[in-house]
Structure 1
Amino acid sequence: MRTVTFGINSSLDGYCDHTIFNPSEEVHDYFTSMMNDVDLIFFGRIMYQLMFPYWADVARNQSGTDDENRFAQRLTAIDRVVISRSLDNVEDHTRIVRSNPAQELLKLKQQPGKKILVDSVSLLPQFLSVGLIDEFHLVVHPIIVGKGRQLLNGGSLQEKLNLKLVDTTVFNSGCVALHYLKQ
């Protein structure tokens, strides 16, 4: 059975709005390296629209810094599933799923392959409630923002989830990458 991993950037106070961060080269390289073990990314519509076509354009034109270009190349080379009832058009290597995201993820988890990366804050509570997330990669940035999208809204989990810290990386930028496994 495949491993399902959840990876995201977060502020110290738990906000996950990608527009508030300015990732360093080390952070881009961390996520690029993490994706070497991934052959499918599972997006919600909002995160998909935030990530694409921006990173697809960077990959195509090599218009970012070296680390951004490497990240964009890796991200766009991986097959993707996006959960959406409203999207009509998606980038190459992307399939739209209209309903039952947890059922779809469970089906994909049971197929052979590398890891599946979940990149959706809105789908996280549903996936956690049915035990689909096996590991977490959280990069905490040294910033307090006080508003925006939180990793989990109050009351979105029925039971606490115990995790085991397996790796910590401290970056020169002050960011800390935390790698946890579900116990």
Structure 2
Amino acid sequence: MRKLIYGMNLTLDGYVAAPGDDIGWSGPPSDELFQWWLDREQESALWLYGRKLWETMSSYWPTGDEQPDATPAEMAFARNWRDTPKVVFSSTIDKVDWNARLVTGDAVAEITRLKAEDGGAMGIGGATLAGAAMRAGLIDEYQLVTYPVLVGGGTPFFTALDSWVNLNLVETRTLPNGVILTRYETRR
């Protein structure tokens, strides 16, 4: 059975995007944080994306390694992003590319099916998609990269739940600029 990991940058008050889908509060990541995200990308055998995050990622990373100011880590990230299989969940787009396939039907059923397969860990990104997986009890690990900023509203990292989810802290680390990394595994 595959492990499903949900991780994103978020504000101290718990939002992955401020109103208007604004993510400008996160600014460019430190080299240490970018390397951490690169390591996570390289450890994932499959990525699951909601539409908004897919549109953000696919607007830059297919050619991110060709940018004149790309760092070696950014070049590695772009190559890995292109090479890693991806599943995009959306009912409003009709085509995806860059080693991705589109699922327009029941996301929870498809994620459940993918988890049951043999293979490496899966990353899930996009708060709406991850929220559906969270409510279904499918998330095995949460990776929170918390920035010291309050935005007062927007898209929350966590969704409303029907019952508690007990977690075990597996890592905490302070990164440059006051960013705090915490990882939790779901207690089963």
- TM-score in same-fold range (> 0.5): yes
Structure 1 residues 170 and 48 mapped into 2: Cα distance closer, same or farther (>3 Å)?
same
How far, CA to CA, are the matches of 1:74 and 1:176 in structure 2?
25
State the shift of 1:60 in Å: 4.3
Contact 2:145 2:182 in 1 (8 A): yes
Structure 1 residues 64 and 147 mapped into 2: Cα distance closer, same or farther (>3 Å)?
farther
Alignment of 1:112-131 (within 5 A): 112-131=118-137
Deviations 1:142-177 (A, max 9, x none): 222223211135xx2111211110011211221111
How far, CA to CA, are the matches of 1:127 and 1:94 in structure 2?
19
How far, CA to CA, are the matches of 2:34 and 2:6 in structure 1?
16
State the shift of 1:62 in Å: 6.1
Aligned to 2:8: 8
Gaps of 5+ in 2: 18-22
The answer to whether 1:181 aligns with 2:185 is yes
How far, CA to CA, are the matches of 1:124 and 1:92 in structure 2?
21
Structure 1 residues 57 and 125 mapped into 2: Cα distance closer, same or farther (>3 Å)?
same
State the shift of 1:89 in Å: 2.6
Contact 1:2 1:113 in 2 (8 A): yes
Deviations 1:25-73 (A, max 9, x none): 1111111111222110000111100111212121344643333333223
- Amino acid paired to 1:64: A
How far, CA to CA, are the matches of 2:34 and 2:77 in structure 1?
6
State the shift of 1:19 in Å: 3.7
How far, CA to CA, are the matches of 1:179 and 1:86 in structure 2?
32
Contact 2:6 2:124 in 1 (8 A): yes
Alignment of 1:57-136 (within 5 A): 57-61=63-67, 63-136=69-142
Gaps of 5+ in 1: none
RMSD of aligned alpha carbons: 1.6
Aligned to 2:20: none
1:28 alignment partner, one of 15, 24, 34: 34
State the shift of 1:134 in Å: 0.3
How far, CA to CA, are the matches of 1:174 and 1:95 in structure 2?
37
- Amino acid paired to 2:36: Y
How far, CA to CA, are the matches of 2:5 and 2:96 in structure 1?
23
How far, CA to CA, are the matches of 1:2 and 1:62 in structure 2?
37
How far, CA to CA, are the matches of 1:20 and 1:67 in structure 2?
22
Q: Give the SS at the match of 1:123.
A: helix
How far, CA to CA, are the matches of 2:81 and 2:154 in structure 1?
25
